[in-house]
Chain A
Amino acid sequence: MLKLPIYMDNHATTPMDPRVLEAMMPYLREDFGNAASRNHPFGWKAEAAVEQARKQVAALIGASDKELVFTSGATESDNLAIKGVVEFYKDKGDHIITLKTEHKAVLDTCKRLERVRQERLDELKLMRLAQLTGAPVSRDNLAELSIKHDLDSDPVYRQWAEMPTGGARVTYLEVEKDGRIDLKKLEAAMTDKTILVSIMLANNEIGTVQPVAEIGKLCRQRGILFHCDAVQGIGKVPFNVEEMNVDLASITSHKMYGPKGVGALYVRRKPRVRIAPIIDGGGHERGMRSGTLNVAAIVGFGKAAELARLEMADESVRLLRLREKLRKGIMDQLDMVTVNGSMEHRLPGNLNISFAYVEGEALMMAIKDVAVSSGSACTSASLEPSYVLRACGVEEELAHSSIRFGLGRFNTEEEVDFVIKLMVDKVNRLREMSPLYEMAKEGIDLKSIEWTAH
């Protein structure tokens, strides 16, 4: 029997596997100890459980357990990796290269570091202008005075500006139409100041898998650290930090059938990668992340990692088959439908499609028994459609018309059949109501019309 509503939004989060919950239960009940308590059995038991989980997670990515730092999730892991490297290696350089399609946890961390640098440079300018003019300067007349005294060619200011600022300069690389990075562009962006490349394993919207092994090789050759946000790809496509020369990797438990609020950062030991902590305190996790460990969640994370390692091969075959069934079922019965992102380099459970002339939020409302996401602006607080789709060159109109399906471990063939039929019905219904569809069918070129943008 088909149970409604159907969950097909497994990129947002995944349900917990019952085996994970079972593994966690004792640590929510009688085994409640603090893993840092060194002098009684409650603590020892908790510590042993954490260390076993550390091994389970490490085994999934080909790391040693000593290389994992538990965090509250991938947002924290991304912050820790990037801010931690920028602070620790500030004397070496301050340039970061990342992608326009990265998750906000990476992009907004980079933006903050750019702001930090800019603020520091402004302070230096204020100091230099005070020296030069002998008069009071403030942020209000900073721009004006900088031009007047031509600070950009002032040798003293320029020397100061080369000193570490605590922030970073960032290059946001474009992606190709299929969502993939062009390795030549990456290489061209590298400078002798580049300390970090941060590129994800797989994209959370379009499921595009990046050539991580090639990126790792390039970074290693150039002596640049490589951070990979591996959240969406882990347990779905092969990922091995040794084979792929990854120096830092972010993982989160709730995208792989584990509990929310727990994740990890992989930090390479050989050759040793150093990071400055962003949370100070009791010195847990070898000083890289203070705070009492969430033992039950970590145990669940470990169990989820073990299941992913053992079941990935079979599961990805099954998911790919379901995904292709969904894709073909929809595309065989509807015209003017396009898939966003690479078909070749794609997560097996991901399908991101645009249904031309139908708006994404209206479509989600029509299929309210199926939980999915849309790149439509209407689903976010901003009125901009998905920046990921835009970066891949998808027109705004089609970005508004996109739906993301994320198939996961617990989706069934029966559900896929139901969703195909529903999608076809509802898209047809909404197209009957769409003036754009009618015009397109009449052969009117929609681009020739002067729209009244609002």
Chain B
Amino acid sequence: MAYSDKVIDHYENPRNVGTLDKADPNVGTGLVGAPACGDVMRLQLKISDEGIIEDAKFKTFGCGSAIASSSLVTEWVKGKTVDQAMTISNKDVARELALPPVKIHCSVLAEDAIKAAIEDFKKKRESRQQKA
């Protein structure tokens, strides 16, 4: 299967690979997918108290398109507000990377990862507020 230039670029020079401190109250972690299905994405977002995404890191087990999808969304979410990030859809990712139909699930996973990370952050904040 031939890959688009953008997939190859993100795959060969992935942006923002890495790990943020899970214990940091400002870090939300999204872990989506399943090893048995051949792809797992972990997206971590560092979100300021004002709701701005200050940093994003990912690690992905999956094919080239899955790696490229996660790399792309880390670039997109940085500097955005949580609400803006929530509007990123898999279609945007698929279009930007010119994913073929069999790879659409990779972009779906990237969207899910953003939502899961934000969800995790919100949960953390709630439990913090309850304690306070």
User: Could you list which residues of chain A lie within 8 angstroms of chain B, going by C-beta atoms?
Assistant: 357-359, 361-362, 365, 376-379, 381, 383, 385, 395-397, 400, 432-438, 446, 449, 451-454
Contact = CB atoms under 8 A, between A and B. Distances in A.
Contacts of B35: 396-397, 400, 436, 446, 451
Contacts of B112: 452
B27 interface: no
B34 A453 contact: yes
B68 to A, nearest CB: 10
A454 B41 CA distance: 12
Interface in B59-84: 59-64, 66-67
B17 interface: yes
Most chain A beta-carbon neighbours within 10 Å: one of B3, B64, B105, B108: B64
Contact of A454 (B31, B37, B64): B37
B60 A361 contact: no
B61 A436 contact: yes
B14 to A, nearest CB: 6
Contacts of B33: 451-452, 454
B36 interface: yes
B62 to A, nearest CB: 5
B19 to A, nearest CB: 7
A12 to B, nearest CB: 15
Contacts of B17: 432-433
A432 B14 CA distance: 12
B12 to A, nearest CB: 9
A451 B63 contact: no
Nearest to B38: A400
Interface in B38-65: 38-42, 59-64
Given A453-B36, A453-B37, A454-B33, A435 B11 contact: no
Interface of B: 1, 3, 11, 14, 17, 19, 31-42, 59-64, 66-67, 102, 105, 108-109, 112
Contact of A362 (B19, B31, B64, B105): B64
A379 B103 CA distance: 11
A385 B36 CA distance: 9
B63 A361 contact: yes
B63 A452 contact: no
A438 B35 CA distance: 14
Contacts of A359: 38-39, 61-63, 66
A19 B31 CA distance: 56
A358 B37 CA distance: 13
Contacts of B32: 452
A376 B61 contact: no
16 contacts: A357-B61, A359-B66, A362-B62, A362-B67, A376-B38, A376-B63, A383-B37, A396-B36, A396-B37, A396-B38, A435-B42, A435-B61, A446-B35, A452-B34, A453-B37, A454-B108
A342 to B, nearest CB: 25
Contacts of A395: 36
Contacts of A361: 63-64
Contacts of B108: 454
A395 B37 CA distance: 11
A361 B62 CA distance: 8
Given A385-B38, A451-B36, A358 B61 contact: yes
A446 B41 CA distance: 14
Contact of B109 (A378, A383, A432, A454): A454
A243 B67 CA distance: 52
Contact of B59 (A438, A446, A453): A438
Nearest to B70: A433
Contacts of B61: 357-359, 434-437
Given A359-B61, A361-B64, A362-B64, 13 more contacts: A362-B11, A365-B11, A376-B38, A376-B63, A378-B63, A381-B102, A383-B38, A400-B36, A432-B17, A433-B14, A434-B61, A451-B34, A452-B112
A390 to B, nearest CB: 11
Contacts of A434: 59-61
Contacts of A378: 38, 63
A436 B102 contact: no
A452 B36 CA distance: 10
A433 B37 contact: no
Nearest to B43: A435
A362 B67 CA distance: 8
A361 B14 CA distance: 16
A361 B19 CA distance: 24
Contacts of B66: 359, 362
B40 A454 contact: no
Most chain B beta-carbon neighbours within 10 Å: one of A362, A395, A435, A452: A435
Contacts of A438: 19, 59
A383 B105 CA distance: 11
Contacts of B3: 365
Contacts of A446: 35
B75 to A, nearest CB: 16
Contact of A377 (B38, B41, B59): B38
